[in-house]
Structure 1
Amino acid sequence: MTLKIIRHCLLAATVLLVASPVMAQTDTAYSDISKRDMREFRRLMPGIYTNEEQVNFQESLGVAKEDQVMRMDVVVTRTGESFTSVITWADGRTLEARHEHSIVNGKIQANAIRNGRMECARTVTRTFETFTAVGCDGPFILSPKGISLTSGDKTYILLRSRPFTCWVSPRKTDGSYAFYNNLVLHDQGGRVWIDATADHPRVGLKLRNVTWPTGVNRDSMALYTYQGQDEVYSPGYAWGDPKSERLAINTRWIQASCTQGNSLITPTLNLTPGRSD
């Protein structure tokens, strides 16, 4: 009997000796995966996101008034190891929070800190290039394309924007052109305005990466021009491939060009063009 007990003890010890390194290796592997996922999650977070396309098409899609969402802009920036998100709604409301991330029980935890205290936490899981965070006011889904954010009973589809640097030349009363450079906007409805002077009216530009939800129209990058105080009607616009890195327009009363990125573009322009220019 005693011999049998000893044999069982020796067998159990052997199993533990064999299993422990395997369990340790497994724990380490899961930890490495979680850390890798968190690095990728944090890499994807910064950016400017808007639901310009969702807002523009909801009426044509027949979304009931009570279910429609207003324009929302989200700006996420990184400072050291923390992230700050600022949400701005079209009615002027804003919400700011600081986010800190850690690994808890093998999963990413995102803590939202508002007014100096931790308000809530989300648990983040990864599926391929998509991260789903559950908790706080509602879940959000982060991907290279953008963010889907649920707040209350509304879901906002926020697309990630690309930065562009533009120049614009409005035509002056004497027929020559003024010139304004280093105008920064983005391709998800970003706008810029040049105030009126004694020589030319107020003018504006807007970039929009049009994403058609239905139909046969192809998605396009569009550059809109505006004149005067009317900020809705665009008297002239140009369009190109949605992945375009450069888009330009010349309607005679305005010339403009936008290039992806933050680099200053200084063209050589003829500011007194003739008929064939």
Structure 2
Amino acid sequence: MNRLIPVVLTLLMSAPVAAQDKDADTRIAERDLREMKQILPGFYTNEEQVYFQSNLDMAEDRRLPRLTLKIEKDGDGFKATTTSSTGRQTEARLEYRVEDGQILSREYRDGEVDCERIFSREFNSFRGEGCGGMVVADAQGFQFGMPDNPFHMLRARAFKCWASPRKADGTYAFYNDLVLHDQGGRVWIDATDEHERVGFRIRNVQWPTGINRDSLVLYTYRGDDADYAPSYTWTDPSAERLAINTRWLQVSCTAGDATIIPNINLKTGSGN
């Protein structure tokens, strides 16, 4: 009888501890899922990855196509819209839940369950396994696909800009509330009887090799040439404002969606 007492005590003590551990795992997973849901919505693109594939002369059979990904809150889940470089769009609904102390996701296409993933927390990122591959999400964006050559989808930051192209008489036209993003977003202002066609673009350049520092870059374009930027300026990637004056085009961009009303000289561009 005396020998049975320690065994009984061990069983009585271990049962509530196991239940507590399970509850703790569930609480941790629920906290992690709340944090993961906060970072999911946004607009993502692999614009930088595609650019440097060509810039670094990557082998053709390893180059990935350009993609954009938009994730929007949709009830208790999310709607994910993927657009290819050809303009083809696919949509999926993403739903998440906690089960047995783990984060589980379901991906629906055309109303049917397409696949499921299990997510785990890795420091400041979340790693999902399933659906024929892996996905890693953090505040900067996503990686998904084959482990040795994944898509790198960076989160885009929205900017609202105003622009003033120089007119034939030396004064400046004015356009406001021009919206783009820092992952290769571009705006064109069509030609009128008073000024030529002009455009501008923002990139958050992240160098994959070398010692160059990452930069937020504003490019300007004129006429029908969409490839060559005759002028550009750059600053720190965390900057909230970015501007340029080429004398034939003034542009000022501010992060966010606020409308900026500048006090500029539309007559001479002299800066007075």
Q: TM-score, normalised by structure 2?
A: 0.94
The yes-or-no answer on 1:199 pairing with 2:194 is yes
Which secondary structure state, in structure 2, belongs to the residue aligned with residue 200 of structure 1? Answer: coil
The yes-or-no answer on 1:99 pairing with 2:94 is yes
Equivalent residues in 2 for 1:1-277 (5 A)?
4=1, 7=2, 11-150=6-145, 155-273=150-268, 275=270, 277=272
Gaps of 5+ in 2: none
| Equivalent residues of 1:202, 1:228 under 8 A apart | yes
CA offsets per residue over residues 65-110 of structure 1, 9 Å max, x none?
A: 1111121111111122111111111122222101000112221111
1:133, CA displacement in angstroms? Answer: 0.9
What letter is aligned with 2:118? T
1:216, CA displacement in angstroms? Answer: 2.0
The 2-side partners of 1:269 and 1:108 are apart by: 53
| Equivalent residues of 2:133, 2:144 under 8 A apart | yes
1:151, CA displacement in angstroms? Answer: 6.3
The 1-side partners of 2:94 and 2:82 are apart by: 13
The 1-side partners of 2:6 and 2:239 are apart by: 67
What letter is aligned with 1:67? R
What is the RMSD of the two structures over their aligned residues, measured on CA atoms? 1.8
The 1-side partners of 2:55 and 2:218 are apart by: 22
1:124, CA displacement in angstroms? Answer: 0.7
1:276, CA displacement in angstroms? Answer: 5.5
| Equivalent residues of 2:26, 2:99 under 8 A apart | no
The 1-side partners of 2:270 and 2:98 are apart by: 65
Bigger Rg over Cα: 1
CA offsets per residue over residues 4-49 of structure 1, 9 Å max, x none?
A: 3xx5665444333322221221111111101011111111111111
The 1-side partners of 2:231 and 2:144 are apart by: 34
What letter is aligned with 1:104? E
What letter is aligned with 2:217? A
CA offsets per residue over residues 203-250 of structure 1, 9 Å max, x none?
A: 211110111111222111100111122111111111111111100000
What letter is aligned with 1:208? R
Gaps of 5+ in 1: none
What is the total number of aligned residue pairs between the two structures?
272
Q: TM-score, normalised by structure 1?
A: 0.92
